Amino acid sequence: MKVLGLESSCDETGLAIYDSEQGLLAEILYSQVELHQRYGGVVPELASRDHIRKALPLLETALEEAKLKAGDLDGIAYTAGPGLAGALLVGAMLGRSLAYGLQIPAIAVHHMEGHLLAVFLEEHQPKPPFLALLVSGGHSLLIEVKALGVYRILGQSIDDAVGEAFDKTAKLLGLGYPGGAALSKLAEQGQAGRFHFPRPICDQPNLNFSFSGLKTHAMMTYRSLEETEQAKADIAHAFQEAAIDCLVIKTGRALRQTCLKQLVVAGGVSANRLLRQRLNESMREQGAEVFFPRAAYCTDNGAMIAYAGCLRLQAGEYEDLIVRIRPRWPLDELPAILSD
Ligand code: KG4
Ligand code: ZN
């Protein structure tokens, strides 16, 4: 079964073709970063227009790369949410109408489920039930994966997502957009121990996160200092240590509470090297195994949408003729992926 995946929920146009027999046949990613950079963040209207401009030419390239014709496809999966409404509409309209024209099923994919399932594009795979930490620009979620499609939310951010806090702090330090990876790089030059940032709500027994205070703490610290490259690096270091500590503390607690022995970490922030290292260390101490997708599948991409769509299509799921998007879409409202 060959499924085209379309990702357009934010500032990346990602397309991929996944074959249930042969794996990925094509994958293309076009990033709008340059377009939004001068505004310091994603401008939704510009994002939608750029997805419109790029989607069809990229589709042609993907088909060429896979040496396929549109008629060879068995289904078209698109990100239906969560994300920016206009950007989602582009992928959804294109995917749904293309599927109609080709008389094949269309599948609406949840972006965060795409991130979660990206780990199954790797050789080293977990087996449900497992714990998942999903960390991106819009979400910080701890979930219990009882079975594929059956998710229980154990904790989430009560304010900014962790990627958002990385981006906002990076912007403050003049690192441009999106700043998560740049902040992490700068942090390597930071002096350990010069600043100590708080670990918000880590003393509370729940599994929620709070990151907006860290960003404010970074701002207050920055304002109190002379503006030097070293000061910026020291702030980046302290911020990253604190944010990662919060993720590691709550994830460890979730593992103990659920007695699960496997952890999947996915979403853009899971590309962070220090987070990977700290989670590996901490989970090893707890006797649990950790699974990460490769870095390219941590951040937004079409492959994860094609794969998730293929799984759901194989389970007999597809959309009717209405184009639906869900800019807000709780992960625990998805139906189970039932294999026969
Ligand atoms: O999953 P993703 O590509 O898009 C969303 O679904 O939001 O995640 C993007 C987020 C951004 O906030 C970006 O700054 C962050 O992931 N990110 C990182 C790193 N690479 C990407 N944050 C920290 N360290 C990184 N290496
Ligand atoms: Zn994402």
pLDDT in tens, 170-179: 999 999 999 9
Range(s) of the domain holding residue 252: 127-292
- Statement to judge: residues 168 and 307 lie in one domain: no
The pick from 136, 275, 298 for probing ligand 1's pocket by mutation, whose C-beta has the most ligand atoms within 8 angstroms, reads 136
272 touches ligand 1 (CB under 6 Å):
yes
- Statement to judge: residues 101 and 134 lie in one domain: no
Q: What is the pLDDT of residue 197?
A: 98
83 touches ligand 1 (CB under 6 Å):
no
- Statement to judge: residues 31 and 139 lie in one domain: no
| Contact between 231 and 225 (Cβ < 8 Å) | yes
Give me the mean pLDDT over the 74-98 stretch: 98
Beta sheet of 75-81, edge-to-edge order: 23-31, 12-19, 2-7, 75-81, 106-110
Per-residue pLDDT band at 100 (split at 50, 70, 90): very high
- Statement to judge: residues 240 and 152 lie in one domain: yes
Q: Domain with 165 in it: what CATH number? A: 3.30.420.40
180 touches ligand 1 (CB under 6 Å):
yes
Per-residue pLDDT band at 182 (split at 50, 70, 90): very high
| Residue 89 amino acid letter | L
Q: What is the pLDDT of residue 152?
A: 98
Per-residue pLDDT band at 120 (split at 50, 70, 90): very high
pLDDT in tens, 217-231: 999 999 999 989 999
Q: What is the pLDDT of residue 157?
A: 98
- Which ligand has its closest atom nearest to the C-alpha of 269? 1
| Residue 62 amino acid letter | A
For residue 171, being part of any structural domain is answered with yes
The ligand 1 atom nearest the CA atom of 271:
26
For residue 338, being part of any structural domain is answered with no
Q: Kindly report which listed range (37-41, 188-192, 235-239) carries the lowest average pLDDT score.
A: 37-41
Residue 336 carries which DSSP code?
P
240 touches ligand 1 (CB under 6 Å):
no
The ligand 1 atom nearest the CA atom of 178:
14
Give me the mean pLDDT over the 196-203 stretch: 98
For residue 13, being part of any structural domain is answered with yes
The ligand 1 atom nearest the CA atom of 83:
6
Give me the mean pLDDT over the 313-320 stretch: 97
Q: What is the pLDDT of residue 340?
A: 61
- Statement to judge: residues 202 and 319 lie in one domain: no
The pick from 269, 297, 331 for probing ligand 1's pocket by mutation, whose C-beta has the most ligand atoms within 8 angstroms, reads 269
Q: What is the pLDDT of residue 179?
A: 96
The count of other CB atoms within 10 Å of the CB of residue 234 is: 22
- Statement to judge: residues 265 and 156 lie in one domain: yes
Residue 176, token pair as written in the block: 């441009």
What average pLDDT is seen over the chain? 97
Reply yes or no on whether the pLDDT at 339 is more than 80: no
Give me the mean pLDDT over the 293-302 stretch: 98
- Statement to judge: residues 275 and 159 lie in one domain: yes
Q: What is the pLDDT of residue 338?
A: 86
118 touches ligand 1 (CB under 6 Å):
no
Give me the mean pLDDT over the 242-257 stretch: 98
Please state the domain count of the chain: 2
For residue 339, being part of any structural domain is answered with no
Residues 6+ apart with CB under 8 A from 269: 135, 136, 162, 163, 166, 180, 275, 298
- Strand, coil or helix: 3: strand
| Residue 98 amino acid letter | L
269 touches ligand 1 (CB under 6 Å):
yes
Number of H helices, E strands in the chain: 11, 10
Per-residue pLDDT band at 160 (split at 50, 70, 90): very high
Give me the mean pLDDT over the 291-320 stretch: 98
Taking the alpha carbons at both ends of the chain, their separation in whole angstroms is 15
Residues 6+ apart with CB under 8 A from 156: 139, 140, 141, 142, 208, 209
For residue 121, being part of any structural domain is answered with no
- Statement to judge: residues 144 and 270 lie in one domain: yes
- Statement to judge: residues 288 and 305 lie in one domain: no
- Strand, coil or helix: 243: helix
Tell which of 292, 307, 322 closes a domain. 292
Reply yes or no on whether the pLDDT at 214 is more than 80: yes
Q: What is the dihedral of CA 112, 116, 117, 121, to 10 degrees?
A: 120
Reply yes or no on whether the pLDDT at 202 is more than 70: yes
**Closest listed residue to residue 225, CA positions, set 184, 259, 194, 257:** 194
